[in-house]
Structure 1
């Protein structure tokens, strides 16, 4: 297989692209580069994860933080019976989207599930093996732990793998932000109860559409007819955010419907 060539944002600035859309793991460190791109006359957007304090002109949001945070919490609490100890294995400590979801999870669980206790939040970066190791350590440190949340697409299968390896399927329940194909084996065997995500193909389409709108200086409407299946994408002028739609719950019952 040919090797993929990594292209850095600075190279796109040198190429004088019309629009630059990024998904920054560290919004603060990305902000100066985005300012440089803006100075060069490039239109700026973010997608998937935001840099709200930067010069970006639009954020393409896959689902609202409230919707994702609540869906993750409900998904892990359902098999736990709404009570017990659980932990979160996240990725980057500075990722805007992950932290916004976690903030919702904390507040929502405290209100709706008072008998549940979040015992720890750890960060595995974008490393699935590290997520598995951290989840294993969490189970060892908390023998009465009954829930694990994998906050991103590498930690979701990672925590499920840890439960499988520990022989705790049906005793420790996991959910996470995982793609259907990566989560299918875990959902089918029961080491994961659910994956909360969004339509990845639709997010890509919306991001490309938003980039074209910026390049052509076309304004966003309160409701946008983007294309088939995306006839009513809302835009919030105050936050400059396009919202794809509600979170998608993927389970053993429907995971075969998705091919990504």
Structure 2
């Protein structure tokens, strides 16, 4: 989606970046039932004061989650007079989040908002936390649906996949060529869903000249992502483009390309923030990239958690709740709440954003 004009962009980034601007599709659960309890929702209720809401990102000190949690989730929790906290591992590994979930449960946390490093690895701990009384909201990257109450999805996997393939196709040009994907961790639910749908998108006739030759994983670590980008070019000398649907990966790949002989010859797109990608857009390393507003994602996740803990929603399809400045949202199938569509950043609009 492209938007031009300051007023239109500003409106849409609160309504499409807000709904739009970042690490999901799920693959289980009964369609249309979500994973909420059998309790009846009270759509006219208000969020209780004093709720303890903890954010558990894939990894702390990651700029993406610093924004989503501390500039989004915290703001929302303070608005409805709850108690906010953030905790989590320093590395994004599949099992690293389990001990934090157990601790939060023991602390009688009302809502655990978690971005899963693996859809299965933390399910046992989350189920125990639910049994102990916590409401579970996943955001950015989902677990199996039965392990949580609601999943706040930054955008549909299909929308992200279409956006990424269109951007790399436009950047590479009509002659096409070999492309590769630089992902986060091999077990990240959202990354894997996006990659599978990118492959489906690439099978369409309009992308017949693009050939996906490799997928590598930087584990959301800057140096490893840098090295993986370097390795792709060494392994595939005819590579024409790289897609990195992770904020850490796309910035690291841009840094490598910008200082190499491949600058301007190998195209790069992905999911990044304006502040981390601005210099690379201006120096010609990157033509365009996409994202949603991570602060809005965390903000929405906090309100979804508050609504769950207050009985306003149960996580079933059709439940409605108000999310502060973002307005009203409706829970969809499998307990999914979608923030919106990806937003495209490029030279013509990137200076209008500061995050």
TM-score normalised per structure 2: 0.68
List aligned pairs for 1:32-111, cutoff 5 A. Answer: 32-82=124-174, 83-111=176-204
Query: How far 1:103 sits from its partner (Å)?
Result: 0.8
Query: How far 1:41 sits from its partner (Å)?
Result: 1.1
Please say if 1:254 is aligned against 2:346: no
List aligned pairs for 1:1-12, cutoff 5 A. Answer: 6-7=87-88, 8-12=100-104
Alignment-derived partner of residue 306 in structure 2: 212
Alignment-derived partner of residue 241 in structure 1: 336
> Which SS does the other structure have where 1:143 is aligned?
coil
Take 1:80 and 1:57, find their aligned partners in 2: how far apart are those partners?
41
2:304 touches 2:323 (CA, 8 Å); kept in 1?
no
Higher relative contact order (CA 8 A, sep 6+): 2
Alignment-derived partner of residue 187 in structure 1: 281
2:111 touches 2:137 (CA, 8 Å); kept in 1?
yes
Query: How far 1:234 sits from its partner (Å)?
Result: 3.8
Alignment-derived partner of residue 26 in structure 1: 118
Match of 2:290 among 173, 191, 196: 196
Take 1:225 and 1:150, find their aligned partners in 2: how far apart are those partners?
33
Please say if 1:164 is aligned against 2:278: no
1:203 touches 1:244 (CA, 8 Å); kept in 2?
yes
What do residues 95-131 of structure 1 show as CA deviations (whole Å, max 9, x unaligned)? 1101111111111012130111000000110112211
Take 2:181 and 2:323, find their aligned partners in 1: how far apart are those partners?
35
Paired residue total: 256
Alignment-derived partner of residue 149 in structure 1: 243
2:246 touches 2:271 (CA, 8 Å); kept in 1?
yes
Q: Sort the Cα spacing of 1:206 and 1:39 in 2 relative to 1 into closer, same or farther, 3 A.
A: same
Q: Sort the Cα spacing of 1:226 and 1:156 in 2 relative to 1 into closer, same or farther, 3 A.
A: same
